Structure 1
Amino acid sequence: MSHVPIIHVPSAESGKPATAIRRCAIYARVSVSSKDNRTQLTSLQAQVQACESYIQSQRGMGWELVAPPYIDDGYSGGNLDRPALIQLMLDVEAKKFDAVIVQRLDRLCRSVRDICDLLPTFSMTKTSLVSLTQAFDSETPTGKLTLHLLTTFGQFERELAGERVRDKFAITRASGRWQRSGIPLGYTLSDQQELQVNATEAAVVRDIFQRYLVADSMTQLLEDLSALDYRTKIHISRNGNQHGGKHFDRNTLNQLLKNRAYVGEVFYKDEWHPGKHEPIIDRALWDQVQAIRNQRARRTGRLTGNRYVEDFPLAGLVFWYDGSAYTMYESSNRKGQRYRYYKAPKTTLGQTDNSGPVTLPTHELHQVVIDHLRERFKDPQPWLDDLPEEWKSWPEFDPEHVKASLSKLDKPWRYFIPQMVADVIRQLVGRVVLYPDQVQISINVQTLSLLLKSFLHSDSEPKKASKPRRRRPDSVASVTKQRPLVPPKKTKET
């Protein structure tokens, strides 16, 4: 970098009382390397200069820059495996500084879980963390409250990670048996809940996959399948009604082409896992088809993979009141600007009077949820009224203390970067149900329980500092454009 940071050296002036020195360090980061950036002022330089100017403005309070800036040039904020950050945390642990200054919190890390890995080191060494754009200082009362809230959610995320591991063991115990209600075309279900190949239907499935490889378009392929009289799987419901047996359309064809049951996998608790049944499609053919689907999806903008918490924190949690699930949806214009939505499900409810579900821009629905959560923080009585009786019987349970603690959680929201807001939404919200004239938002009882226990045991000992964790950054999938629609205005508590 052409910019040379200024390192201030404390000086004493005779006749004036000495001011306690607050030793400061600066951390800056960019995801894309600035080495090839020929502009006069790079993002890294702008970050460093902003931090230096702030330290200079606080010289009267004894603030001094005592080390060159710690800079990670070209490193993602999606994980903590960054050389400058690792060295910074080692120096913080050695108590070389009294404060670490960043331009924004997301320069340090992007998730609640990551920042909670770093906070114990700052806390135990009494080193402040200061963010300029959010006017955040971890040594102020509001800053301490914010850190307490972040730590609480970080602990909850770790508990969820442990549950995921236990769930995977449960999958193993499930012995690869089919757990879903609908049987895929090409299989029948045995009395032992295991899929068995139906030779006639399996031949149709293989032919569809092969034809997809050479088809000029989905329209042409659908016409060919219709001419061959290929039809969807026939299902008989418990009351004897027959479903399916129709010619393929775009939706049913896409559902078939992405069904991982055809490569020997089973779906259990929101994930695909190896099954015991015989695959119909070999892995090479499957990979070829998925590559073509992904290529076409990038052109049309359809979502083909999982979207992570940052962009869609309510993924899998939004439903129309008839139980139909909303899906994730994204598009971009020619200038590269992205538009994200929760796409309305197909349902017969409301079709006659135009009161059916509408596709919602993510930011609008997120704001409705955020406003509701902050309102509940200010007035948590509805949450307390619905608490299980066993919680109220805890010896240490004090309703007034809990209400006072929850009411304080509204203020720290303005310090959260978008990624942290998304983490908190994902953990606090249990379910969002949309009606034609209102939104019904349910709280995640696990999170609420953890918050209450945290408040009731707020005098517990600080946690031991942990070393920065290696983690791969979240992947980003392609998606498609949809017109923005206004979300319902009212909210209903459950």
Structure 2
Amino acid sequence: MSSKKNNTDSIRCAIYTRKSSEEGLDSEFNSLDAQRESAESFIASQISAGWVCLPEQYNDGGFSGGNVERPGLKKLLADIEAGKIDCVIVYKVDRLSRSLMDFARMMETFEQHDISFVSVTQQFNTTHSMGRLTLNILLSFAQFEREIIGERIRDKIAAQRRKGKWAGGTPVLGYDVDRSGSSPKLIVNQSEAIQVRKIYELYLELGSLLPVVDELKALGLPNKTWHTRRGKPKGGKPFDKCSLHALLTNPIYVGKVKHKNDVFEGEHEPIVDADIFDDVQTQLKANGRTPTGQVRNKHNALIRGLLFCKHCNSAMVHTFTNKRNRRYRYYRCAQLIKQGRTSCPTPSLPATEIERAVIDEIRLIAQDQDLQKEVFNQAKSLLEEDREGITRSIANLSRQLSKDQNELQRLSEAPDPSNSIATCIAGLHERIQQNETELSRLKRKVSEQMERSIEMNEVIAAFNDFDQLWDTLRPREQQRVLALLVSRIEFDASDNSISIDFHDLATSKELATC
């Protein structure tokens, strides 16, 4: 391979190695060692040209080539930026990257720092256009191969699930994984199976998730504990509402396997009676949980998504309870709901009372003349800032469009366009079209804003008519108004107060709760 350096200069060569899986990495001589040995031999053959192998290790074991989130690669690029490397050596092109886009970006970085690139088994000279074109073509095939492998893996998993086989993943409580045969199988862990059946019985007895979570904590029954193939312990966390719900809705416990939205008969032994499982699903549905595990809320909670617990910074969730044929609404801390009553001291707040307190505060600020002037000034200032921002965006887009069109013309006139140039041309066409559409939209917005104006009497009239306007709004519209006015509401259990932060207003109002 030719180099831009003189023969008297040493060429500092860095060897990069990668392996997608961790299998075999703990052996005495693994794939990474083999890759490095081949690269070192290649460097030794170029010793007359001044090639020197750097001692630093740039290895990524167990990392996919489909992205650049790899510690060894990041270290390599950092040393390139620091000027410590002249040439990068890999065993094969796809060891560096299997993504054409990522590889193209790395090649740009190499060119910016005058870095040569060598593949031991595919000798290329990246200082020549033909070498770069060949690299791009080979990398395209590598990316295609990676996508094909991904499709085959997904198809294999789907086929295994249709046959009722366990296709891998996190082990579940009640089963162990037997890997002694040609394919892994689930076998019943008898002690854990007793625990699973106990959980199902507790739910039917107690009727809801949180009491079961508390009971499991009291009994000291955690979730599944297992070890990875390399002996690392995993799992064993206490149950919360999410993990408990996942266990109670998993069809694996009645001898079935699930793939996406389909359920198939499994080859493993069930550990929960089908009737009990169906009763649990009925109870979960009756408690208001949708199939996706989301809680339904059809009661138009006005400050839902705005109210937070100051103690743990968690959102306060709207919920309700039924007593004597009457429904009572509350806001409860999400952490308390998830982890149990000992996790947060904040009590449940009566929804109607705290919502009324927030509305009363908004009604009070409507009569504050200084605040009305502040709102007017800020509204005018925001409108002017918006116009200035749009004007700057139009100028930036216009400059970018001019640059892209000039670059497109230059690339189109290339005498022998390569695959990378064709990719750049396609990308430029797409960006030009997007920017032209955005430019037209911004120009229309400027025209609309030129016709807009805000007068002080309009602001005063809007505040003075607050009560009348509020009463005519539907609940969903009231929620929208509150979301536009209020950015955050915090409840402080230590002094039984709430603070309200308003959008774009440099003030926070403190109230005592009812």
TM-score by length of 2: 0.29
Q: Which has the higher contact order (CA 8 A, sep 6+)?
A: 1
In terms of Rg, which structure is larger? 2
Q: Per residue, is there more helix in 1 or in 2? A: 2
TM-score by length of 1: 0.30
